[in-house]
Amino acid sequence: METAEEKLEFLGSASIRELTFEEIRPNAKHNWLNLTQNDFESLLPVATKEAKLSRKPSQEKAIFRLFTLGVVTNRDEWVYGDDVATLSAKVNYLVETYNADVKKLSAVRDSEKLAEMLDSNVKWTRAVKNDLRKGTLYEFSPECIVESYYRPFVKRRLYFSRQLNEMVYQVPQLFGPQAGANQAFCFAAEERSEFGVIAFRDLPNKDVFMPSAAQVLALYRYDDAGTRIENITDWALDQFRKQYQPGRTKPKRAITKEAIFHYVYGVLHDPVYREKYAVNLKREFPRIPFYPDFWQWADWGKTLMDLHIGYETVEPFALERIEAGPSPQPSARKRGEGASERAEAPKAMLKADKEAGRIVLDTQTSLTGIPPEAWDYKLGNRSALEWILDQYKEKKPKDPTIREKFDTYRKLDLDRRINLPQGDRGIRCGE
């Protein structure tokens, strides 16, 4: 634990022949540090680039055929919104401003001059600039507004368009023409973040686990005609059936691709699995072991997935809502007056107090009785509750045009945002 200077001084004064060295050999993936000694390489790969790009079923040697990153808009403030009306107004303004520039600058050929003349009210990105140079006009379409899974247990409206979303990757191939028709989950596998996994039905944002990119796997995929195809490979089904259904005896429950989907989700939530393969999960996509009781893990996985996808409809957990009296205005305090008609409006806080087991909604309202285990349920670097609180906090938009024309956050709208009517003793997880 010496400083760099102390280490250099030691090496400068020591004889190489008198030093004891430890030989370190990189593993097959060229890692030199934090080398693992486990069976990770022998497990079934969840997904691989080779299986994704293969043209023959025999080459699809992974559990899932297709995987993708979530949507990258590069203009979240413009194409995401909490309600259809505000989002429509923003996108219409964006489209009209862009189209005006297309017409105004159609004769400009000098790239540097073009850049100087662009309207700063538009969030210009590479793809949009390319459309401008081609003279492509945009048109607002209400049908492009869909539900999107933005952060853990937080949904927002998204204007889903290849024109105004910088990269959609293979999201259309996984979620198809009908909203909410598929089941999917995403995971984060990066050095800078703890491993996290969460299930959903709606189009995901790439940054579900911000700052880590979310890799998305789904039960089904869709071809160009909108036909639904199973995304679990035949190779995976064969591997599981050979492992759990040997011999000629017909099993009581036949292993299906949907059951494998749930099994994978259950295993990825196993604390023992996560601890054993913690280093591996920071470097590469998960691999799945064969646990002794397939159906126990498949059933657990399905139960978890139903809870995570249907979090808005589960039975509310019993919390107590505590209301403090209104605080007098500063001028009233100086005069020695108490709370009155001139009392200060509550100030939104949305602060987690883990030690006290409570959430402070504003200066007058808090929710108590949150069990310690709730804070332990982490998705990446935050607990699920902290993700929700962060997303509903008041944040001034970074874009000056959004800040001026479309900043609609209301400090006193907390009851609507968390779906907690006045006097209610419960709150649904994630709302």
Q: Looking at the domain assignment, is residue 343 inside a domain? A: yes
Q: Which of 144-148, 219-223, 252-256, 339-343 has the lowest mean pLDDT?
A: 339-343
Number of domains in the chain: 1
Q: How far apart are CA 322 and CA 78, in angstroms?
A: 37
Q: How far apart are CA 224 and CA 232, in angstroms?
A: 19
Q: Looking at the domain assignment, is residue 415 inside a domain? A: yes
Which is more confident, 214 or 104?
214
Q: Looking at the domain assignment, is residue 348 inside a domain? A: yes
Average pLDDT (28-46) is: 77
- Quick: pLDDT tens for 355-388: 999 999 988 999 999 999 999 999 988 999 999 9
Residue 63 predicted with pLDDT over 60: yes
- Taking the model in full, what pTM does it have? 0.82
Which is more confident, 244 or 337?
244
- H helix or E strand, kind and range, residue 7: helix 4-13
Q: Cis omega (within 30 of 0) on the bond before 400?
A: no
Residue 320 predicted with pLDDT over 80: yes
Q: Looking at the domain assignment, is residue 5 inside a domain? A: no
Q: How far apart are CA 278 and CA 40, in angstroms?
A: 11
Question: What's the domain range around 356?
Answer: 317-427
Tokens of 430: 């994630």
Residue 418 predicted with pLDDT over 60: no
Q: CA 333, 337, 338: angle at the middle one, nearest 5?
A: 95
**Residue 277: burial class (beta carbons within 10 Å; 0-12, 13-18, 19+):** buried
Residue 331 predicted with pLDDT over 60: no
Report long-range pairs for 35-39 (Cβ below 8 Å, ≥24 apart): 36/277, 36/279, 36/280, 38/276, 38/277, 38/280, 39/289
Name the pLDDT band for 179 (thresholds 50, 70, 90): confident
- Closest by CA position to 75, among listed 193, 163, 13: 163
Q: Looking at the domain assignment, is residue 158 inside a domain? A: no
**What mean pLDDT value characterizes the chain?**
85
**Residue 149: burial class (beta carbons within 10 Å; 0-12, 13-18, 19+):** buried
Q: Looking at the domain assignment, is residue 374 inside a domain? A: yes
Name the pLDDT band for 114 (thresholds 50, 70, 90): low
Write down the pLDDT at residue 126: 85
Q: Quick one: DSSP state of residue 98?
A: H
Write down the pLDDT at residue 247: 66
35 neighbors 27 (Cβ within 8 angstroms): yes
Q: Quick one: DSSP state of residue 398?
A: S
Residue 206 predicted with pLDDT over 80: yes
Q: Looking at the domain assignment, is residue 112 inside a domain? A: no
Write down the pLDDT at residue 430: 27
Residue 336 predicted with pLDDT over 70: no
Which is more confident, 14 or 90?
90
- Write down the H helix ranges in 205-364: 234-244, 257-268, 271-276, 278-283, 294-309, 330-334
Q: Looking at the domain assignment, is residue 71 inside a domain? A: no
